[in-house]
Amino acid sequence: MKLHYGWIVLFATFFALFAVQGVRLAFGAFIIPWENEFSLDRSMTSLISTVSFIVYGLSQPVVGRLIDRYGARMIVIGSTALVGVSVILTAMTQQSWQLFLLYGFFVSLGVGGASNVAAAAIVTKWFTAKRGFALGIVEAGFGVGQMIMVPGSLLLIQVMGWRGTVVVLGLFLLLLVVPVVVFLLRNQPADKNLSPYGGVNEQGDTVAENKNSSLWSVFADYKFWFIIMPFVICGFTTTGLMDTHLIPFAHDHGFSTQVTGSAVSILAAFNIAGIILSGYLADRWSSRRMLIFFYSVRSLSLILLLVSHEPVLLLIFAAVFGLVDFATVAPTQLLVTKHFNKHRVGFIIGWLFLGHQVGSALGSYIPGLLYSHHNSYSSAFYAAIFLLVLAVIMTYLLPKKELAS
C-alpha cells in the first residue's frame, strides 16, 4: 500500500520541532556557563528564560492567526531560519544585555513559530483519522529534542565551550533542518492533489464556520478557562521549572555531569514514550480523565525531588516525570478541538499555548528568585505540587461527556 503523504509531512514537522524545540530545551545547559561568563546570579539567568517564555507565549495567538491566513509551511521555514541565525549570533555576545536581546527575543520569536500551534494546524489539515496518534508523534519531537540536544549540548560545552556549541546548533538548523522542511512540508493535502489521511471530514470544512464565530464567546465559556488554566500550570511545572532548573538543581546536589545527563536523557526517553502513548490513547479514552491522571502523577513525582539526595532517586524521578511531561499536550489539544470546533483552531490553540508560556515564564523566574533568596529549590517544588492539585480539580470540573470532534 502506498504511503500517504501526510506521514511525510508529519515527519518534516517532527524534524523541525525536534531541532528547534531541542535548542530551546537545551537552555538549562547554558545557565552555569553564562553565569560564569557574564557574572550573573541565578535570578538573572532565570530572567533571560522568563523573557524568552513571555515572547514565545505572546507570539502564539499571532502565529495561529498567520498560520490560518498563510499556512504553516512559510511560518515554520522562516521561524527555523530565524532561530538558526540568532543562535549563531549569541556566540558573538560580549555583554549580558546582548544575550537577553538575542536569546530572549529573537530566538524565542522563532521558537514560537516552529511550535505546537503550527504542528496542531498541520495535523488538523492532514489527518481526519488517527489524529490523536499523529499529534502524539509530532509532539514527540519535543522529547527527542530534549533527549539528544540537551545531553549533546552539555557534552559540546565541555569540549568546545558554550560559544562553539551555539555555532554548531545554529548551523545544524540552517544547513540541514531548513532544507528538509522546504523540500517536504506542505500546508494541506490539496497542495499534493490528495485528501486528508482518513478521508474528508464528514463535518465538512470547519474553517468557513470559524470565520463567523465570535472569539468573545470562547473567553466567556468557563470550559475554555478550565482547560487553559491547568495548561498554564503545566507550563509552570515542565518547561518553566524542570527544563530551566533541573540541571542546576542536580549540580547543586553534587551530581556529576554524567548523572545529570543521564537523568535528562531518561526523562526525555520516557517523555517520548508518554507522548506517543498519550496520543494513541487520546483517540480512544476520555481526554479529561487522562489529564486528571497525568497531573496527579506529576504532583506525586515532585516529592522525589524533595528527598532526592541519591542518584537513583533522581533517575527514578526522571522516569516518572517524563511519562507525564508532554503527555498532556495531545489530550489538551483534543479537548479544545472537541469543545470549540466552531472557531478558528489555529487561533484558539495559539491562546492555549500563550497560557502555557505564561506559566513557563513564571515557572522559570519564580524558582530562580526563590533560589537566590533561600539557596534552595524546596519552596518552588512545594508550590508546584499545590498548583498541580488545583489543575486536577479544574480538570475534574470539566463536562464529563466530551463533544465529538
What pLDDT is recorded for position 107? 92
How far apart are the C-alpha atoms of 60 and 111, rounded to whole Å?
10
First and final C-alpha spacing in the chain: 28
Residues 10, 137 contacting (CB under 8 angstroms): yes
Contact 230, 360 (CB under 8 A): no
Tell me the sheet residues that pair with 197: 127
Separation of alpha carbons 179 and 274, rounded Å = 30
The dihedral through the CA atoms of 390, 395, 398, 400 has a sign that is negative
Contact predicate 311/259, CB 8 Å? yes
Output the pLDDT for position 209. 43
CA distances from 149 to 24, 178, 257 (A): 9, 17, 15
pTM for the model stands at 0.73
**All three cell numbers of 391:** 489543575
CB atoms within 10 A of CB 276: 18
Check: CB of residue 349 under 8 Å from CB of residue 336: yes
pLDDT tens for the chain, 405 residues long, are: 678 899 999 999 999 999 998 998 888 788 889 988 888 887 788 788 888 888 888 888 888 788 878 888 999 999 999 999 999 999 999 888 898 899 889 999 999 899 878 888 898 888 888 877 888 888 888 778 878 888 889 889 999 999 999 999 999 999 999 999 999 999 889 888 888 888 775 444 444 444 445 567 777 788 889 999 999 999 999 988 998 888 888 888 888 878 888 898 899 889 888 988 888 887 788 889 999 999 999 999 999 888 877 888 999 999 999 999 889 988 898 888 777 766 566 667 778 888 888 898 899 889 888 888 888 888 999 999 999 999 999 999 988 766 544
Count CA atoms within 13 Å of residue 331 on its CB side.
Answer: 31
Q: Which helix (H) or strand (E) holds 78?
A: helix 72-89
Whole-number Å distance between alpha carbons of 156 and 357: 28
